[in-house]
Structure 1
Amino acid sequence: MDVLAEVLESMRTGRPSSVRTDGYAPWGLGVKGSGFHVVLHGGCWLVPLDGTAPTALGTGDVVFLLEGGGHLLADDPATPASEVTAKWLNPGSPVGTLAFGGGGPRTRLLCGRYHLDRARRPPLLGTLPEMILLRAGGHPELTAAVGLLGSELDRPRCGSESVVTALVDSLLLYILRAWLESSDGSWASALRDPAVSAALTAMHDDPAAPWTVESLARRSGLSRSPFAKRFAALVGEPPLTYLTRWRMSGAARLLRESDVPLSAVAGGAGYSSEYAFAKAFKREYGVAPGRYRRHAVTP
């Protein structure tokens, strides 16, 4: 199981969407939520609404932003946001287009939106920055994915909605992988470290297994104490704490998205007793599993 993809999937609460955006100067677009922007033609400014300095974006640049306080995309930092609405392929479709502004030079953007539950951000994503900026060039796989997505938005065809959803998911992975390969943060170090990565892969492959620090250390090729110290330093918490949180994350997803019996949810999380599982789940989420299921809402 791919640890990076699994961790991202644990945060996602709805399907992504993507809009081809044409802004004609003067133009300004207010954006909230997690997502990405790719400059396909021309240039623009990204202006955070928290007062942080604006960033100039040029053709081929890619930027990913967590929700933060929102931001403005505009031909000039001084241009205010306009009230605009995307034209969707179908009601509820993840495929859309947007054209607005004055009669000046055009900037074409590819904008994607993700629904990420930041309140349940896994420890591995604790060092994920509010903004990842990848300048044009140097990321051929990302460039190829952008081209495919742009093609689907330019000419929607049979199956485009499913293709766009898959490509937007892939684009996020490409963005984060490109950042990961150039980052020295603890998350990047954890996934690159052979010992810690081996333990993470084992837990993600089989979260219900009766893992102990000793058995995970054997998977990592280290003795118990050095492994535990290295794991905690890079991941941000001890191995079994991470395992419990990951088990509860998977259980919460099952409770939200399925009607699987509680006994099966408990078993999938490594608990033979529903009572023990319910106690652990309530400690993590603050409510019993049954109540969580009744009140869970997926956007």
Structure 2
Amino acid sequence: MRMDVFGDVLALARVDAALMATFDARAPWAIELPARQGASFHAVVAGTCWFTADGMPPRQLAPGDLVLLPAGVRHELATDPNLPTRRFDDDLKRSLMHPDGDLVLDGPGARTRILCAGYRYEAHAAHPVLSLLPPVLHTATASPQSGPWLRTILDLLTHETRSGAATGAATAAVRLLDLLLIHVIRAWLDTGDDTVGVSWLRGLRDPVTARALAALHDQPGHDWTLDGLAATVNVSRATLARRFAQHVGEPPLTYLSRWRLTVAAHKLRSTTLPVAAIAHDIGYTSEFAFNRAFTRAHGHPPGRYRRHAE
């Protein structure tokens, strides 16, 4: 049930662009990748390299290792973490790009091959799904639990990268990146890593909070009360209020109000439903009250928000 909630949130902040390439280099080499708007990942296909992100010690990556950077932090890849780096900018990219689309860096030493992608999420998405994650998620496809699925997705991504201008290649890559993100975060959640702060994402690990979140996401337009939600989750009102606030950082009905307006923003961007119908769908009996709440949350009334999004 917890991943249903995550999938619900992810669906409202879909990947809307992706850039993929295979980096094929022979030692010695070291590159610096500046911070970027959006997420990125590197998957080592062959050879080894060192990965360093701001404020973190270097870690060596082996074949099958994958690092996801949800917020696109500055980082370095190198055959030796002590080597001076070259900044990966447009000039360096053009100098390394081969006609087949690979980025190739020649040298006398051992070969390393890395599948790389940079991608951004829908600019208007209101739910900060990626900002709630640690700056670096490191997982290995050798893991018996998540490894087979990750390897399958990476194999498909590699195929689509090599497909170039083949029909549907770009669309397939975007959808596969959605899948990759879900499986990497699922693997991370299963590790029990508690570096994430108080948020709905942390709440997915608590069974009481996860059931409450699932109920709110399943029926955002329902006339929820704290007593009704507690009965649905089969706990006392006091237990629900305490556990939800502990893990999510706010009361259930406060979270529901924000989620309703996130859903409303998505409907305004992606449908032609009248504002009154959207207000009713998410649980508002008064269009005036919905307009006031939406304006407070998004800075514009619903009609203007829709025009700007278009």
Question: Normalising to structure 2: TM-score of the pair?
Answer: 0.81
Tell me, yes or no, if structure 1 residue 180 matches structure 2 residue 189.
yes
Partner of 2:16: 14
Partner of 2:118: 113
Change (3 A) 1:35 1:279: same
Deviations 1:45-84 (A, max 9, x none): 2233x45433322211111112254223333432212420
Pick from 39, 44, 52: which aligns with 2:49? Answer: 44
- Which deviates more from structure 2 when the two are superposed, residues 255-264 or residues 277-286? 255-264
Q: How does 1:1-299 map to 2 (within 5 A)?
A: 2-12=4-14, 14-25=16-27, 26=29, 28=31, 30-31=33-34, 32=36, 33-48=38-53, 50-67=54-71, 69-77=73-81, 78-82=84-88, 83-85=92-94, 97-104=101-108, 105-116=110-121, 122=127, 127-138=132-143, 139-155=147-163, 157-185=166-194, 190-296=203-309
Deviations 1:82-118 (A, max 9, x none): 42049799xxxxxx93323233433211122231479
Change (3 A) 1:277 1:87: farther
Q: Could you tell me how far 1:179 is from its partner in structure 2?
A: 0.1
Deviations 1:178-203 (A, max 9, x none): 00001243556522333222221111
SS at match of 2:93: coil
Partner of 1:92: none
Q: Could you tell me how far 1:153 is from its partner in structure 2?
A: 2.2
Structure 1: which 5+ runs fail to align? 90-95
Tell me the distance in 2 between the aligned counterparts of 1:5 and 1:218. Answer: 25
Tell me the distance in 2 between the aligned counterparts of 1:245 and 1:60. Answer: 39
- Which deviates more from structure 2 when the two are superposed, residues 172-181 or residues 183-192? 183-192
Contact kept, 8 Å, 2:40 with 2:72, in 1: the verdict is: no
Contact kept, 8 Å, 1:22 with 1:98, in 2: the verdict is: yes
Extract structure 1 runs of 4+ deviating beyond 6 A: 86-89, 117-121, 123-126
Q: Sequence identity of aligned pairs in percent?
A: 39
Tell me the distance in 2 between the aligned counterparts of 1:161 and 1:118. Answer: 19
SS at match of 1:197: helix
SS at match of 1:229: helix
Change (3 A) 1:117 1:145: same
Q: Could you tell me how far 1:249 is from its partner in structure 2?
A: 0.9
Contact kept, 8 Å, 1:213 with 1:240, in 2: the verdict is: yes
AA partner of residue 247 (structure 2): L
Tell me the distance in 2 between the aligned counterparts of 1:122 and 1:155. Answer: 33
Contact kept, 8 Å, 2:10 with 2:129, in 1: the verdict is: no
